Structure 1
């Protein structure tokens, strides 16, 4: 299988634009993406909330407080998550715990709004009634879900990737137990050896992308494989680019405990892998917030930029702004703007020279600008334009992207999200002439664990680093 035998990205070459085809832009119909069990669980909770209002006679303020607390706690606890194993008893501790958190939140609000009150408030009574009503109906929802998967074949079409007995056992388990919601439709063998085994599904030797397109699969399950991690990661990125859910059978699966993010296919633990964060609603919030913050920062820092520009002119003349081609998300290139910190020379080596540390062309003004990172302030305009984000992997020049992608495992994978003005690698001291492999690890960690809170932490750490650097 091409994607597993080579660590090359399943997309454009670094620095090139990705060609959009019908296959790579295919989206599953909306109804196919809606999970029936998730929809029913949400409906049950909403109906239980309305019924609890009627039973307790709670007024609008109390009902609103209880509703917000319940919605927030159950959303944070992922009570309505998509799942393979539909078991009410397995899910009961999580569901009750989230309702308990909501009860405590309502109690805190009650203490603030009515500090002299005694007894249980109407909002707290509403939460307790909600728990009773909701938990009495949820077993039926799970039973209906299992019945629909078995009898109506409401299952997601799945491709299994891997080698050896583990892949075959996963496929046979899916076939025997459709109540787990996966219908195997194809198998993509990994490794260099040809597959000669017998399976009840088609064996696709043309690669994962072809298998997903041919069978219209919505889920890809990765079994054990003898291939390198970078090769398997390339296949996972391929699955994500097709909008597929990805599940992984972990090593030492017999010893793998149940934990958040782990599901069960009978006796097989499967880990849900998060897709590219750019597909999540939170990423749209990130884009809006960063655009507004960058525009505001440009306005506030305009006098600082003007003073820096004047200093550059007095030291080495015009031009003030330095433009350089960098590689962004999906290998697309853009013009990055900086305040020029290096005196102009007859030969422009900025596209191929890795570092200007110790360069005689960097004068006192340039050294100050680089030490304080003031030369990077014009990149706020790149953020406003959408070329970059405030937080993300730092952009690099095309020649170095090609070189590093060929040498360092998964360097290319960092281009799954927009590049940033600052990043996780930079706040951990990986600036200038430092390890590229370590930068790539931090960048891929950032993508896999992205959240708005992680972005905020990176911004706080960046401010602290800049302050400490200024004091030195």
Structure 2
């Protein structure tokens, strides 16, 4: 077995990152100034660029250590490493530019710096991918293993063990279970010899066997044993991880918060709870909605005129919807139906061949042109360009009793389009499926995801066959 010290691996990763940065520097120098492919002569000698490349490498390594990038990432996916690498290199380049400004190195080629950044990222990503793939294959063959002891042979512990066995590439091997229940009483789907003893025998087991991590998968009633277990593990230098017995209530990526000096588990990780994310999303909404209003203004004028000429009643239809934090607002649409008698409640779904629709309204609904005025809702702050679709209060009250986690969608602003709509869940489609997509969007929001949804909405077209 390959059992190298983690500090050595961290130093090795940092050293290889630095080497890749310097190789990228040499390649970028040759490409920019020596290859002849780019007609450009350097106004600074080679040694100046070499000095700044070394400084850039040092900044990268220092920043990497400061954000714990060189800690063990056995449990992390490759996408995590790529995201961190981009963050490290971009911020390091900005820091280098600040240093260049201070030292008045104004003649450094900007295009060379871009080449350097891109080549450094590509080279570092490539070697890390090769290394991570190689390590995964070695672990699948039984090398570089880490040994896990699970405290609790009940359903929680067995579920964790089954999941772990589905990922042999992570290189974890289950040594066994400890449980205070009688072996004959444990409904174990594994070999019963895997139950090595009682919880009180933990210290002896750790001394006799090689254990890297202890997983506590005990029921809540065993909470009083946690303190002793953690003390035994820390005394032996063994890592301890706890699977909460209520983890079914947690999201896929729970995180710890701090309130009044006490750690709290946040049961719903919402990226848009962060002010920075909300600020940039709102800035994008204002910019995009203004541009959309300007571009579609002639179309909206034509639609308004057509509505006025083809049916009596107002051009804009205002309907109460439930939005952010369950607050109600009036959503704007072009009117597509005949004016309802005063006092008649609007608690019906639109159905195929609905007699309430006007002839023009059927076309507007099918092409989604009736939703263009919602860009004004975005501008006023009632809605976002991308988000879960808002619903009428009557149906919100109905769905919150029938559809699990339905009300979670109101943690963020509703949108004109969303992850559900861009995946074809528009109009007369499953509410449960739409909520699953909305929850995914809420918990995995990013600016790039918003761009992807807008792009999919445009590419898939605005024609909605389910819009009645």
TM-score of Structure 1 vs Structure 2, range by shorter chain: 0.5 to 0.7
The answer for the alignment partner of 1:306 in structure 2 is: 301
- Deviation (angstroms), 1:278: 2.8
- Deviation (angstroms), 1:135: 8.5
Question: Does structure 1 conserve the Cα–Cα contact (< 8 Å) formed by 2:419 and 2:441?
Answer: yes
Query: 2: CA distance between counterparts of 1:233 and 1:333?
Result: 28
Question: Does structure 2 conserve the Cα–Cα contact (< 8 Å) formed by 1:106 and 1:123?
Answer: no
- SS of residue in 2 equivalent to 1:429: coil
String of CA shifts for 1:193-220, please: whole Å, max 9, x gaps.
Answer: xxxxxxxxxxxxxxxxxxxxxxxxxxxx
> Does residue 316 of structure 2 align to residue 387 of structure 1?
no
- SS of residue in 1 equivalent to 2:461: helix
Query: 1: CA distance between counterparts of 2:402 and 2:429?
Result: 15
Largest Rg, 1 or 2: 2
Query: 2: CA distance between counterparts of 1:245 and 1:283?
Result: 26
Query: 1: CA distance between counterparts of 2:245 and 2:229?
Result: 22
Choose the corresponding residue for 2:220, options 154, 164, 167.
Answer: 164
Choose the corresponding residue for 1:124, options 27, 49, 53.
Answer: 53
String of CA shifts for 1:298-351, please: whole Å, max 9, x gaps.
Answer: 122111111111111111123011111111111111111111111113256563
Query: 1: CA distance between counterparts of 2:62 and 2:389?
Result: 51
Query: 1: CA distance between counterparts of 2:217 and 2:343?
Result: 48
Question: Does structure 2 conserve the Cα–Cα contact (< 8 Å) formed by 1:161 and 1:167?
Answer: no
The answer for the alignment partner of 2:165 in structure 1 is: none
> Does residue 360 of structure 2 align to residue 365 of structure 1?
yes
* Unaligned 5+ runs, structure 2: 1-5, 36-45, 72-215, 236-240
> Does residue 348 of structure 2 align to residue 353 of structure 1?
yes
The answer for the alignment partner of 1:339 in structure 2 is: 334
Question: Does structure 1 conserve the Cα–Cα contact (< 8 Å) formed by 2:412 and 2:442?
Answer: yes
TM-score (norm 2): 0.53
Query: 2: CA distance between counterparts of 1:436 and 1:286?
Result: 26
- SS of residue in 2 equivalent to 1:301: helix
Number of corresponding residues = 301
Assess, with a 3 A threshold, how the Cα gap between structure 1 residues 175 and 333 changes in structure 2: closer, same or farther.
farther
Q: Map 1:164-183; keep pairs closer than 5 Å.
A: 164=220, 167-168=223-224, 170=226, 172=228
The answer for the alignment partner of 1:56 in structure 2 is: none
- Deviation (angstroms), 1:408: 1.0
Choose the corresponding residue for 1:411, options 370, 389, 406.
Answer: 406
Assess, with a 3 A threshold, how the Cα gap between structure 1 residues 123 and 225 changes in structure 2: closer, same or farther.
closer
The answer for the alignment partner of 1:430 in structure 2 is: 425
Assess, with a 3 A threshold, how the Cα gap between structure 1 residues 308 and 138 changes in structure 2: closer, same or farther.
closer
Q: Map 1:70-469; keep pairs closer than 5 Å.
A: 88=7, 110=29, 113-116=32-35, 121-130=50-59, 163-164=219-220, 167-168=223-224, 170=226, 172=228, 229=248, 232-233=249-250, 274-346=269-341, 351-466=346-461
Assess, with a 3 A threshold, how the Cα gap between structure 1 residues 164 and 440 changes in structure 2: closer, same or farther.
same
Query: 1: CA distance between counterparts of 2:415 and 2:231?
Result: 45
Assess, with a 3 A threshold, how the Cα gap between structure 1 residues 136 and 302 changes in structure 2: closer, same or farther.
closer
TM-score (norm 1): 0.53
Assess, with a 3 A threshold, how the Cα gap between structure 1 residues 416 and 240 changes in structure 2: closer, same or farther.
farther
- SS of residue in 1 equivalent to 2:349: coil
Query: 2: CA distance between counterparts of 1:346 and 1:138?
Result: 63
Assess, with a 3 A threshold, how the Cα gap between structure 1 residues 170 and 414 changes in structure 2: closer, same or farther.
farther
- Deviation (angstroms), 1:277: 2.2
